[in-house]
Amino acid sequence: MAEHRREEAEAASRRRYERGRDPKYIRFYKSGVWRRVSAAKLSQQRECEARLDGCQQIACEVHHIKPLRTDEGWRERLEWGNLMSVCVRCHNKLDGKWGKNTGKPRSPDVDGVIDLSSLKKR
Protein backbone atom coordinates (compact mmCIF):
# COMPACT_ATOMS: atom_id res chain seq x y z
CA MET A 1 0.00 0.00 0.00
CA ALA A 2 2.77 2.44 0.91
CA GLU A 3 4.61 1.53 -2.31
CA HIS A 4 1.48 2.35 -4.34
CA ARG A 5 1.14 5.78 -2.65
CA ARG A 6 4.81 6.52 -3.31
CA GLU A 7 4.39 5.64 -7.00
CA GLU A 8 1.29 7.86 -7.25
CA ALA A 9 3.15 10.75 -5.59
CA GLU A 10 6.08 10.32 -8.00
CA ALA A 11 3.73 10.27 -11.00
CA ALA A 12 1.97 13.44 -9.79
CA SER A 13 5.33 15.15 -9.27
CA ARG A 14 6.43 14.17 -12.79
CA ARG A 15 3.20 15.56 -14.27
CA ARG A 16 3.66 18.90 -12.45
CA TYR A 17 7.27 19.09 -13.67
CA GLU A 18 6.34 18.25 -17.29
CA ARG A 19 3.54 20.86 -17.36
CA GLY A 20 6.04 23.72 -17.26
CA ARG A 21 8.35 22.32 -19.95
CA ASP A 22 8.31 23.02 -23.67
CA PRO A 23 7.07 19.92 -25.57
CA LYS A 24 10.04 20.27 -27.95
CA TYR A 25 12.45 19.48 -25.10
CA ILE A 26 10.27 16.71 -23.68
CA ARG A 27 10.26 14.98 -27.09
CA PHE A 28 14.03 15.38 -27.39
CA TYR A 29 14.81 13.91 -23.97
CA LYS A 30 12.46 10.97 -24.62
CA SER A 31 13.88 10.29 -28.09
CA GLY A 32 15.79 7.14 -28.87
CA VAL A 33 18.71 9.09 -30.32
CA TRP A 34 19.18 11.09 -27.06
CA ARG A 35 18.91 7.93 -24.97
CA ARG A 36 21.58 6.23 -27.09
CA VAL A 37 23.93 9.24 -27.11
CA SER A 38 23.60 9.90 -23.37
CA ALA A 39 24.06 6.18 -22.56
CA ALA A 40 27.19 6.12 -24.74
CA LYS A 41 28.55 9.24 -23.01
CA LEU A 42 27.97 7.74 -19.55
CA SER A 43 29.52 4.45 -20.66
CA GLN A 44 32.62 6.24 -21.98
CA GLN A 45 32.97 8.65 -19.01
CA ARG A 46 31.75 7.14 -15.72
CA GLU A 47 33.22 9.74 -13.37
CA CYS A 48 31.74 13.20 -12.89
CA GLU A 49 33.57 15.64 -15.15
CA ALA A 50 32.47 18.75 -13.24
CA ARG A 51 33.96 17.76 -9.85
CA LEU A 52 32.33 20.72 -8.07
CA ASP A 53 32.23 21.16 -4.29
CA GLY A 54 30.20 18.27 -2.84
CA CYS A 55 30.66 16.10 -5.94
CA GLN A 56 29.35 12.55 -5.69
CA GLN A 57 31.99 11.41 -8.21
CA ILE A 58 29.89 8.81 -10.08
CA ALA A 59 28.26 10.27 -13.19
CA CYS A 60 24.66 9.27 -13.82
CA GLU A 61 23.40 12.20 -15.93
CA VAL A 62 24.56 14.03 -19.06
CA HIS A 63 24.76 17.83 -18.99
CA HIS A 64 24.59 20.09 -22.05
CA ILE A 65 27.41 22.63 -21.74
CA LYS A 66 25.58 25.02 -24.07
CA PRO A 67 21.96 25.05 -22.81
CA LEU A 68 19.31 23.61 -25.12
CA ARG A 69 17.29 26.80 -24.68
CA THR A 70 19.84 28.65 -26.82
CA ASP A 71 19.95 28.36 -30.61
CA GLU A 72 23.57 27.20 -30.50
CA GLY A 73 22.83 24.69 -27.74
CA TRP A 74 19.92 23.25 -29.70
CA ARG A 75 22.04 22.88 -32.84
CA GLU A 76 24.78 21.12 -30.83
CA ARG A 77 22.48 19.03 -28.61
CA LEU A 78 24.00 15.73 -29.78
CA GLU A 79 27.59 16.92 -30.26
CA TRP A 80 30.01 14.99 -28.03
CA GLY A 81 31.95 18.17 -27.22
CA ASN A 82 28.80 19.80 -25.82
CA LEU A 83 28.15 16.98 -23.35
CA MET A 84 29.49 16.32 -19.86
CA SER A 85 28.98 13.23 -17.70
CA VAL A 86 28.01 14.54 -14.26
CA CYS A 87 26.63 13.44 -10.89
CA VAL A 88 23.19 14.69 -9.79
CA ARG A 89 24.60 17.26 -7.34
CA CYS A 90 26.96 18.83 -9.89
CA HIS A 91 24.24 18.78 -12.57
CA ASN A 92 21.88 20.71 -10.29
CA LYS A 93 24.62 23.26 -9.57
CA LEU A 94 25.54 23.62 -13.25
CA ASP A 95 21.90 24.14 -14.20
CA GLY A 96 21.43 26.62 -11.36
CA LYS A 97 18.67 24.56 -9.76
CA TRP A 98 19.89 24.84 -6.16
CA GLY A 99 21.27 27.71 -4.11
CA LYS A 100 24.64 27.44 -2.40
CA ASN A 101 24.33 25.27 0.73
CA THR A 102 20.66 26.15 1.24
CA GLY A 103 19.01 23.09 -0.24
CA LYS A 104 16.40 25.44 -1.68
CA PRO A 105 15.69 26.12 -5.35
CA ARG A 106 17.21 29.36 -6.61
CA SER A 107 16.42 31.51 -9.55
CA PRO A 108 18.63 30.84 -12.58
CA ASP A 109 21.31 33.27 -13.66
CA VAL A 110 20.78 35.47 -16.70
CA ASP A 111 19.33 33.42 -19.58
CA GLY A 112 19.58 30.27 -17.43
CA VAL A 113 23.36 30.16 -17.87
CA ILE A 114 25.65 29.86 -14.87
CA ASP A 115 29.25 31.09 -14.89
CA LEU A 116 31.29 27.90 -14.42
CA SER A 117 34.29 29.87 -13.13
CA SER A 118 32.24 30.99 -10.12
CA LEU A 119 31.80 27.40 -8.88
CA LYS A 120 34.31 25.73 -6.57
CA LYS A 121 36.23 22.70 -7.79
CA ARG A 122 37.09 19.90 -5.38
Total structural domains within the chain: 2
Residue scoring higher pLDDT (110 or 36): 36
Q: Which domain holds residue 57?
A: 38-118
The CA R_g of the chain, rounded to the nearest whole Å, is 15
The pTM score is 0.67
Helix axes 32-44, 23-30, angle to 10 degrees: 60
Same structural domain, 59 and 19 = no
Instruction: Give the 3-state secondary structure percentages of the chain, helix then strand then coil, rounded to 5.
Output: 50, 10, 40
What percent of the chain is modeled with pLDDT above 90? 52
Is residue 107 scored above 70 in pLDDT? no
Same structural domain, 26 and 66 = no
Same structural domain, 16 and 75 = no
Same structural domain, 104 and 46 = yes
Same structural domain, 26 and 43 = no
- Summarize pLDDT for 85-96 with one digit per residue, the tens: 999 999 999 988
pLDDT for position 91: 93
